[in-house]
Amino acid sequence: MTRLVHLSDLHFGFHREALIAPLLDRIAEARPELVVITGDLTHRALEPQMEEAARFLDRIEAPTLIVPGNHDIPLLNPLARMLWPFRGYLRHFGGPLGPVAQAGDVRVLGVNSADPFAWQRGLFRRGEIGRLIGGIDPQAMNVVALHHPLEQLPTVQKRTARRADEAASRLQDAGVGIALSGHLHIFALDELLATNRFPGLLQLQAGTALCARISDLQNEFAVLDIAPGAVRLERHVAPMNREGFAPPEIRDYALQDGRWARV
Ligand SMILES: [Fe+2]
Ligand SMILES: [Fe+2]
């Protein structure tokens, strides 16, 4: 069994300061083999925000795998956004922008889906899907980690990232079993499974771990225990109107005949 922690949308610069210590405590208590962070580490990709996010990462003992979100490239400086969109990110968090990590029997394939030319929407770059498929470990549970969800529920007004549909289909067919994302600041998992569009792909669309936007209602992160054909998910939720995290909610999922189901 391999234990991952999944965080998304930290939004340093517009974050819930009082939740930093409880979040770091929970991560330390979970003793994960890898912490996966699916983008929007900062709110506006500003230097002090990058520095604060980097200090947060330094306080995580476990190895980390991070990918950029749209908020990690400069929005308000179009010249910087077009000419050197990832300069600040790379300086503070290092590269590559699509990192790969192996943790026990789990292989995590990171994707940079942030697009300077379609800031909100995001994309799969040309050749990216092939690169991911080439990186699959047939002996492992393969996980893709990216900021933008591969699939969105019909209630979401925003457009899905460019080529996300093709990516979900090809990655599922190639044997990727889990997709971790964020961006929408709304947790979704069972609802995405219920669309039945990609039954072999367990898609965890995370809520925001630290963003202070009141309309998000809560902050949260997930702990995933991954075994061959099985995932146990712990969902740790911190409502905006209370201090710290509630006891985790636990859900189990099993993969049978190429289809995930909650058990
Ligand atoms: Fe975000
Ligand atoms: Fe985002």
Q: Which pLDDT value is given to residue 260? A: 98
Domains of the chain, by residue range, sit at 2-262
> Could you tell me which of 20, 69, 24, 23 has the C-alpha nearest to residue 44?
69
Q: Which pLDDT value is given to residue 187? A: 98
The model scores a pTM over 0.85: yes
Spatial separation of the C-alpha atoms in residues 244 and 249, rounded to whole Å = 15
Beta-ladder partners of 178:
143, 202
Structure confidence by residue, pLDDT tens digits, 77-123:
888 888 999 999 999 999 999 999 999 999 999 999 999 999 899 99
Q: How far is the CA of 239 from the centre of ligand 2 (A)?
A: 20
Spatial separation of the C-alpha atoms in residues 76 and 81, rounded to whole Å = 8
Strand arrangement of the beta sheet that strand 106-110 belongs to = 100-103, 106-110, 141-145, 176-181, 202-205
Q: How far is the CA of 103 from the centre of ligand 2 (A)?
A: 26
Tell me if 213 sits within 8 A of 225, measured CB to CB: no
Q: How far is the CA of 158 from the centre of ligand 1 (A)?
A: 13
Spatial separation of the C-alpha atoms in residues 203 and 181, rounded to whole Å = 8
Spatial separation of the C-alpha atoms in residues 230 and 7, rounded to whole Å = 20
Structure confidence by residue, pLDDT tens digits, 194-242:
999 999 999 999 999 999 999 999 999 999 999 999 999 999 999 998 8
Ligand sitting nearest the alpha carbon of 67: 2
Q: Which pLDDT value is given to residue 14? A: 98
The CATH fold assigned to 2-262 is: Purple Acid Phosphatase; chain A, domain 2 (3.60.21)
Q: How far is the CA of 147 from the centre of ligand 2 (A)?
A: 7
For ligand 2, a single-atom ion, the residues with CB < 5 A are 40, 69-70, 183
21 exposed, middle or buried (CB, 10 Å; 0-12, 13-18, 19+)?
Answer: exposed
Q: How far is the CA of 110 from the centre of ligand 1 (A)?
A: 17
